[in-house]
Amino acid sequence: MDTKEESTFTYRRDCPSRTVVEVLANKWALYVLAALRRHDRPMRFNELRRILDGITQKMLTQTLRALERDGLVSRTVYPTVPPKVEYGLTPLGVEAGRLTSAIADWSLEHARQILVARHDFDERSAADPVPVG
């Protein structure tokens, strides 16, 4: 398969890379990976939950399970009472964390421009005449 065919294949519905993109496109997955990367150490569930303002317990659980299933996050259970559980990045997760951190950095750098563009768009949309039917 040549390079052009390979790039076309990635847009096909049956391309395995689509499932990976779907996971990484999830906002909470981005935040979890970025948080684990920025703190550069394993973290406990409630610690992640405190850092990720707005995430529910259910969503954090689902996100961590999906990331663990995909080999991006490791889950370590320590035999204590109560059990101590930590989440950390796998080597694959470290690589993905670089991408998510780059997206976060870009977002911080350009957030104001995007908010201005949204405001301008909304102003124009509100001023557009509405066709009579």
For the stretch 73-118, pLDDT in tens is: 999 999 999 889 999 999 999 999 888 888 888 999 999 999 999 9
- The alpha carbon dihedral of 10, 13, 18, 22 has a sign of positive
Q: What is the pLDDT of residue 126?
A: 80
Nearest Cα neighbor of 74 from 92, 62, 60, 57 is 92
All structural domains of the chain, each given as residue ranges with its CATH number in brackets, are 3-127 (1.10.10.10)
For the stretch 13-23, pLDDT in tens is: 888 888 888 88
- Tokens 């990331």, located at residue: 67
